[in-house]
Structure 1
């Protein structure tokens, strides 16, 4: 690695760009769990040096999108029922606590309302395009608490959350209109200061998505 600060910044920019492009391909389902991602393959695909390819792969391993075992190439993490349940229950712990704080103050985040309005404006049918506004809604709840550490904790699992949500909507399991309706009910409970109801509605909302995806993974022929 060069000792020149400007050159180091250039390398970081290249690594971040490759990481973003790989991440997008994974989340769109263009790179499956059966495909080995070697440093040589990434280097050739993106026209970057192998150290940059290695750094990009390691960033995605750290974010939970790739997994690497000893002396083996990295691969996209396989989504199984155990992973889905752990991801959704991690979300539940963080988001439920955030909702209770917001409800005590009757503080409804404008960003959450805006994200839900975007969902309402979409066609009612299930579609992967709902993932972005859906995630913005839930992230807005976390960020509204005003804790940098809580927001960082939530974002540390966000790629895995997005991977699961993309699987849910890729299977056309949840309709935009139904998601928006559930979100609206959660915000109404927060606005009314009813922390228990807000937490219960969140549990029902996330639990339904969790169960539908688990069922689809266990019985793919019926999904």
Structure 2
């Protein structure tokens, strides 16, 4: 039940904290696409008034994570095939630039850290621990983004990935064991391309990485009405 998914927050920067917790909960997949978000219920779960909840929901609407329905309140945003294609195309462009910038700042310590994450991802995949695998997947990309040393770029790619984060988690959970392991190992192939410091191959590897993930999400979406 939703009451088990949120924790009370303190009064400092209340709307920010509420938005952060709702965002994390949505992106984790704990709230399903299309699930209604009732202000009064959320306020009770969080231990706050409805005002910071309303402000937080407005911010998440601006980010595309939440939709406001006429006379029906808010719900977790759903996604259709066209939106997925558009988001994925933008992600390819931005993440290829991430790859280019990461190569500029590539170092042995970064490579060791990323390879350790991949080893943990593969171990999680072998155990069938999709929650752990998804969390490590997010951490992998956050560390890669940090190598760019570009806060604006980091914010943009994080926001785009966040728009489909819940769908990515759900699609990963549905993978068969062999596909789960292949998904984890694909991050090692991405490191190989980056560590070679060849921009062209690294950008192509990044595009493949994103396109495969998008296809996985697309396969899990309900068919569109004809």
For this structure pair, what is the TM-score category when the shorter chain's length is used for normalisation?
0.7 to 0.9
Q: Is the 8 A contact 1:63 1:157 kept in 2?
A: no
Residue of structure 1 equivalent to 2:7: none
Structure 2 CA distance for partners of 1:12 and 1:113, relative to 1, 3 Å: same
Long gaps (5+) in structure 1: 1-9
Preserved CA contact (<8 Å) 2:101 2:147: no
Aligned to 1:80: 80
- Give structure 2 stretches of 5+ with no counterpart: 1-9
SS class of match (1:75)? strand
Q: Does the residue aligned with 2:37 lie in a helix, a strand or coil?
A: coil
Mean Cα deviation higher: 15-24 or 153-162: 15-24
TM-score normalised by length of structure 1: 0.79
Instruction: Find out whether 1:91 has 2:91 as its counterpart.
Output: yes
In the other structure, the counterpart of 1:64 is: 64
The farther-off stretch of 194-203 and 42-51 is 42-51
2-structure distance, mates of 1:208, 1:214: 10
Task: State whether structure 2 residue 174 is matched by structure 1 residue 138.
Answer: no
- Aligned partners of 2:124 and 2:130 also within 8 Å: no
Q: Superposed, which structure 2 residues align to 1:44-55 within 5 Å?
A: 44-55=44-55
C-alpha separation in 2, matches of 1:161 and 1:35? 15
2:182 is the counterpart of 1:178: yes
- 1:181 Cα shift? 2.2
**CA, structure 1 residues 198+122, in 2 after alignment: closer, same or farther (shift >3 Å)?**
same
Are 2:156 and 1:153 aligned? Answer: yes
CA drift of 1:214 comes to: 0.9
Aligned residues: 211
User: How far off is 1:70 after superposition?
Assistant: 4.9
Larger radius of gyration: 1
SS, match of residue 32 in structure 1: coil
